Amino acid sequence: MCGRFTLATPAAQIAELFGLEHTPELTPRYNIAPSQQVAIVRRAGGRPELAWARWGLVPSWARDPAMGARTINARCETVAVKPAFRAALRRRRCLIPADGFYEWRREGNRKQPFYFSLPNGSLFAFAGLWERWEGAGEPLESCTILTTGANDAVAPVHDRMPVILAPEAHGPWLDPSVPGEEALAVVLAPLPSLTLRCYPVSSLVNNPANDTPDARRPLR
C-alpha cells in the first residue's frame, strides 16, 4: 500500500516535468497523509493542469465522504472491476506528483518506518485516479493512488508499493482516448528495483502533524 508520501521539489521543476502552463504555488510537504489535500495533475482542455483533491477516493454514488478512508489505494490488479474505481479508470486518471514515500515493517511489537525515493531524490509521479462527489454543500474532488506488487527494493519492508510511472507513460495515462484497460497494462509491473533507494527513518513520521524535513531524515 501507500499511506504517506512527500513532495518538497521546487514548484518550477514540477511545472516543467508535467508540462504545466503556470508554475503552481506549493509548500514543501514531508509527511502527506490520507484525508489531506494533495496536488494532482490531470488533463483539462487538452492540456495538463494542477488541481487539488482529498486523498481517499469518494465515488459519485457514495452516501457520504467517509468512504474515502477505505479507498486511499486501488490495487491495479482489480481496479478495472471494483465499483469504487472502474468509472474513474475509464475517464478520470491523474498523476500524483511525489519525490518519496514511506512504508512500515513490523519488527517485534513495533513498526519501523522506511523512506523510499529515486537515487537522486528527484520528482516522479504515482499513477492515480480522481472523482467528483456532489453531496450536500460544496462538491468534493478526491483521489487514490494505484498500488502493485513490491519489487525487490520494497519487498523486505512491505508486499505492496505505489505505482510509479516512467515519464513516457504520463501522456498515455492521462489521455482519455486511451481505454482504461490499455492504460492499465502500462502500469501493472513494479518499478525496477535499482531505481529506488531505501533507508529507515524515525517514528516522527507516524504523526501527520510532523510535517518537517526531519520526518524523512535517515535514522542514526
Q: Which residues are catalytic?
A: 2, 103
Reduced to 3 states (helix: H, G, I; strand: E, B; else coil), residue 35 is coil
Reduced to 3 states (helix: H, G, I; strand: E, B; else coil), residue 24 is coil
Q: What is the DSSP string of 156-214?
A: TT-SEEE-EEPGGGHHHHH-TTS-HHHHHHHHSSPPPGGG-EEEEB-GGGGSTT--SGG
Residue the block writes with cell 533507508: 199
Altogether, the residues listed in the chain come to a count of 220
Residue the block writes with cell 474505481: 85
Cell numbers standing for residue 202: 524515525
Cell numbers standing for residue 216: 524523512
Residues in CB range of 194: below 8 A, 6 or more apart = 153
Cell numbers standing for residue 49: 493542469
Residue 94 is inside which H or E element, if any? strand 93-98
Residue type, 36: Q
